[in-house]
Amino acid sequence: MTNTKIFGYFVTTILFVFASTQYIVTSLNISSILCIKEEREALLKFKKDLIDPSNCLSSWVGKDCCHWIGIHCDIRTGNILNLDLPEYDICADVSSSSPLGGQINPSLADLKHLSHLDLSFNDFHGVSIPEFIGSLNMLNYLDLSYANFSGIVPAHLGNLSNLHYLDISSSYPLLRVRDISWLSALSSLQYLKMNYLDITSSPHDLFQAVNKMSSLLELHLASCNIASLPPSSPFLNITSLSVLDLTKNSFNTSIPSWLFNMTTLTKLHLYKSSLTRLVPSMLGRWKLCKLQLLDLSYNFIIDDIGEMIEAMSCSNQTLKFLYLSQNQLFGKLSHSLGKFTSLYDIDLSKNSVNSHSGVSGPIPASIGNLSNLGSLYLEGNMMNGTIPESIGQLTNLYTLNLLENYWEGTMTNIHFHNLTNLISFSVSCKNNTLALKVTDDWVQHLKYLSRVEIRGCQVGPTFPDWLKNQIHLNEITLENAGILGEIPNWLYNISSQIRILDLSHNKISGYLPKKMNFTSSNYPRVDFSHNYLKGSVQIWSGLHALYLRNNSLSGTLPINIVEEMSRLEELDISHNCLNGIIPLSLNKIQNLSYLDLSNNYLRGEIPEFWMGIQSLRIIDLSNNMLEGSIPTSICSLPLLFILELSNNNLTADLSSTFQNCTQVELETLSLKNNRFYGSIPKISNNFPLLAELLLRGNSLTGSIPEELCHLSFLHLLDLAENNISGSIPSCLGDVHGFKLLQTMYIYVMYSLTFSGYVPYTRHIELNNISGQIPMANQFGTFNEPSIYEGNPWLCGHPLPTNCSNGEQETKDEDEDDGDGDDEKTQKLGLYASIAVGYITGFWVVCGSLMLKRSWRHAYFKFVFDMRDKLMDLMAVCMARVKRKFGLERN
């Protein structure tokens, strides 16, 4: 026995020495093996055609290419086996690196033993995938994903019969195939990823080709323009498929039942695939008992959420991620949801597309059993009832989103008792029936809370002081939360970390804080709109957006605003009591894109400084007391799409104001209720995208220019309360999308002859227009006489006045003559009454003026000022009366 042990020890020692020797020899061989010269030269040719802006391949020097970055060689022969050059790997040590680009040199075909090729996440600027890659028949791994290749995928890839992994995905539809049948030759594939590959030109079926891959484990076909799903399973030969991704295809059908029979699936991605519903018999066919992820979000699925959860019961121990957002689900959450104890993410948000759909009912108390739950999204549904206290048992929860529902009752400390990992908390109530009543001590456990969003819930009346102890807090939204009193001073202490501070729609009073320091790099935004704040506007450094709309702020705009708020992008101080002028320093805020100073008491002229604010998209200076003309520098704003200057005292010849505007993206131009004169501007070349032109309440003259017909996007034209004459251009009816032409008090002396399609969506008010109503196009469908109210000189269908003889048509032909005589008598009486009333009123006024000298002087001064307008108006009216009276007599 002793000899046996000794012999065993001896053999073990010999084997150990032998193994150690082999290891040492092998190590020495590895260090001594150099790559093959021909293959090294092939790599250098490959590198020469590359663009390497970050010098990521700086190690590609010397003779030993086996030690170059991204290269792996056979330890025995020195042949290159792996060319591994993904951007995130080779440039990992380079800060602000740029990916490789350029051309793929055919010299790579000399790497006869290459089994692994990865060029992913580089940028080859739209070059085609080289055909020679199909000659690398030793390849078992090929990854060309997200490298900005484009064009036709070469069918030569079908020669790579040893491939186990193929990824030619991209972020955009850059690649396409003429014929997908080459895929069927890749029978050894286990991983196939072809996201955004356009297969619409292929005459062969994609699923038939895939079915030849009996060893396939993962199939990713997102955004491949697959038109439909086959009614029966296309994967009869595939027995081990674990991941199926058909995201962003347009199936426009219900989910076929064969998907529920794929017992090996662990992940099923059907996001945004135009699916309409689940099959009715889903309840008994669900066999996805290994499923870990189900993504049906952003579809049109109309099904009962409770029944769906019941149907998935065999997955209750495996399912980790459940994404059903943006559908049309209805019904109540089942208590069996609490049996899915492996769930990590639940997203049922935004299933309420109207008031009759959406997940309803309360959150089941069994939610507290989901101890692994990390995020819960129930936003945008019809859920109601009280929020269960069992939510406080979810110790791993980091995101709780309960926005836009109909919650009731009160949330207390118990709801947050064990939420020690909570990072984001959001809740809102559409009917304001939820209160949040917690004490300051409950937040001691919230070490990571960074986001609080509470809307339409009762938090006040006092400002919640528990927020000041949250050292990671960067988003505070307390909108419509019933808060009274002043803004607390401690907000200054956390202002440097704040990204969003929204206290709008409360009853906060007092003054704006004088000191706030928003130095966060995440575009800090402050919204104190719709409160009772008073005093002057304060300057807070670092802000990107400031909203102070609807308060009682007064004083002037700070002239030093640019010194502290140079990063400002959006500024809204509308509906306050500001006065003074618009400070010239605004032109130095170069990133400003939204400016709303409307509904204040600003005076003076609009400054001529807009050329320095090239990012401006919206300017609203309406409802102020501004004077002068429109600055020509506004025409230098290429991105401007809304210009709102209505209800001021602006004056200028409008016909020439916009002559120098070119290439401006303006969509809305509102100049209502000013003192502009001249003719309607011919702006079709200046603002080709104009959709709304609002010129009501000015002193414009002349006719409506036919150039307006060239505005193909025009859908709202308001020329009311001007002195426009002439006819309405018939081509306006051809304007695409034209909805409403409102020309009240425009004097049109000729017949109205619209052509084209005018959608009947609102009343068409064409006051004081004469002539026959046309019957062509959409006018023939206007059967309601009331839409032409205020136009006594119009005739024809649907009005009772016949254009041929002026007589009123009735349904009873026997009474036609009698009614016509009565109408004449009534009209003559009407005109006589008008004349008598005019004469009587005239002498009553004159008598008063004769007795009161001061009245007489004031009156005649007014008369002389208005003489020209009154004479024109009387001339037009008398002409109409005479013409109509003559017509009746005849």
CA angle 602, 603, 607 (to 5 degrees): 95
At residue 747 the predicted structure's pLDDT band, cuts being 50, 70 and 90, is very low
Q: Provide the percentage of residues in the chain whose pLDDT is more than 70.
A: 77
Confidence of residue 22 (pLDDT cuts 50, 70, 90): very low
- For residue 870, the model assigns a pLDDT of 55
Rounded CA Rg of the chain: 38
Count CB neighbours of 231 within 10 A.
10
Q: Which residue has the tokens 């456990």?
A: 445
Report d(CA 622, CA 213) in Å as an integer.
67
- Residue 788 in this model has a pLDDT that exceeds 80: no
| Residue 191 identity (one-letter amino acid) | Y
* Helix ranges restricted to H, 568-688: 654-657
Spatial distance between the Cα atoms of 462 and 437, rounded to a whole number of angstroms: 11
Stretch 68-80: mean pLDDT, rounded?
Answer: 94
How far is C-alpha 289 from the chain's CA centre? 37
Which has more confidence, 277 or 775?
277
pLDDT tens per residue across span 188-200: 999 999 999 999 9
Q: Which of residues 460 and 551 earns the better pLDDT score?
A: 551
Mean of the per-residue pLDDT values of the chain: 83
Residue 473 confidence class, pLDDT cut points 50, 70, 90: very high
Give the whole-angstrom CA distance, residue 642 versus residue 670: 8
Instruction: Please tell me the least confidently modeled range out of 140-144, 159-163, 780-784.
Output: 780-784
What pLDDT shows up at residue 885?
A: 46
pLDDT at 357: 76
Most confident listed range (243-257, 793-807, 856-870, 871-885) = 243-257
pLDDT of residue 686: 87
527 contacts 550 by C-beta, under 8 angstroms: no
- The residue-averaged pLDDT of 737-746 equals 44
Second-level CATH architecture of 521-755+775-784: Alpha-Beta Horseshoe (3.80)
pLDDT tens, position by position, 572-583: 999 999 999 999
Helices (H) and strands (E) in the chain, counts: 11, 50
Tell me, what's the pLDDT at 770?
56
Q: Give the domain ranges of the chain.
A: 251-332+339-360+381-386, 521-755+775-784, 832-889
Task: Average the pLDDT over each of 408-412, 518-522, 691-695, 746-750 and give the range with the smallest value.
Answer: 746-750
pLDDT one-digit tens code per residue, 292-330 = 999 999 999 988 999 999 999 999 999 999 999 999 999
Highest mean pLDDT among 157-166, 631-640, 731-740, 775-784: 157-166
Whether 812 has a pLDDT exceeding 90, the answer reads no
Question: Among 836, 772, 776, 782, which Cα is nearest to 805's?
Answer: 772
Q: What pLDDT is attached to residue 842?
A: 55
Q: CATH number for 251-332+339-360+381-386: choose from 3.30.499.10, 3.40.50.300, 2.30.29.30, 3.80.10.10.
A: 3.80.10.10
Side-by-side strand order, sheet with 699-702? 677-679, 699-702, 723-724
How many whole angstroms separate alpha carbon 890 and alpha carbon 885?
9
Mean pLDDT of 672-700: 91
Range 692-714 average pLDDT: 89
Q: Are 678 and 656 in contact (CB under 8 A)?
A: yes
The upper half-sphere exposure of residue 113, i.e. CA atoms within 13 Å in the direction of its Cβ, equals 15
- Once rounded to an integer, what is the mean pLDDT over residues 432-456? 86
Per-residue pLDDT for 181 more than 90? yes
Distance CA 73, CA 86 (A): 18
Please tell me whether the peptide bond between 461 and the residue prior to it is cis, using omega within 30 degrees of 0: yes
Burial of 681 (0-12, 13-18, 19+ CB in 10 A): buried
Amino acid 758: pLDDT: 41
Most confident of 720-734, 761-775, 873-887: 720-734
Considering only residues 836 and 332, tell me which one the structure prediction assigns the higher pLDDT.
Answer: 332
Quick check: 109 pLDDT over 70? yes
Is the pLDDT at 392 greater than 80? The verdict is yes
Tens digits of residue pLDDT in 850-870:
555 445 545 554 554 555 455
Residue pair 741/718 in contact by the 8 Å Cβ criterion = no
Name, in order, each residue with C-beta under 8 angstroms of 668's C-beta and a sequence gap of 6 or more.
Answer: 641, 642, 643, 644, 690, 691, 692, 694
Quote the CA–CA distance of 817 and 833 in Å, as a whole number: 24
- Check residue 359 and report its DSSP letter: E
What global pTM score does this model have? 0.78
Q: What secondary structure, in 3-state letters, does 47-65 show?
A: HHCEECCCCCCCCCCCCCH
Best CA proximity match to 161, nearest among 191, 140, 177, 179: 140
Q: Residue 802's pLDDT is what?
A: 78
pLDDT number for residue 458: 95
Task: Decide if 251-332+339-360+381-386 and 521-755+775-784 have a common fold.
Answer: yes
Residues 363-395: b if buried by 16+ CB within 10 A, e if exposed: bbebbbbbeebbbbbbbbbbbbeebbbbbbbbe
- Residue 830: pLDDT band (50, 70, 90) is low
Q: Measured between alpha carbons, how far is 748 from 737 in angstroms, rounded to an integer?
A: 24
Please classify residue 518 by burial: count the beta carbons closer than 10 Å to its beta carbon, then call 0-12 exposed, 13-18 middle and 19+ buried: buried
Range with lowest mean pLDDT among 456-460, 637-641, 795-799, 865-869: 865-869
- Cβ neighbors of 26 (< 8 A, separation 6 or more) are 75
User: How much is the pLDDT for 5?
Assistant: 57
pLDDT at 355 over 70: no
Residue 205, both tokens: 């079926």
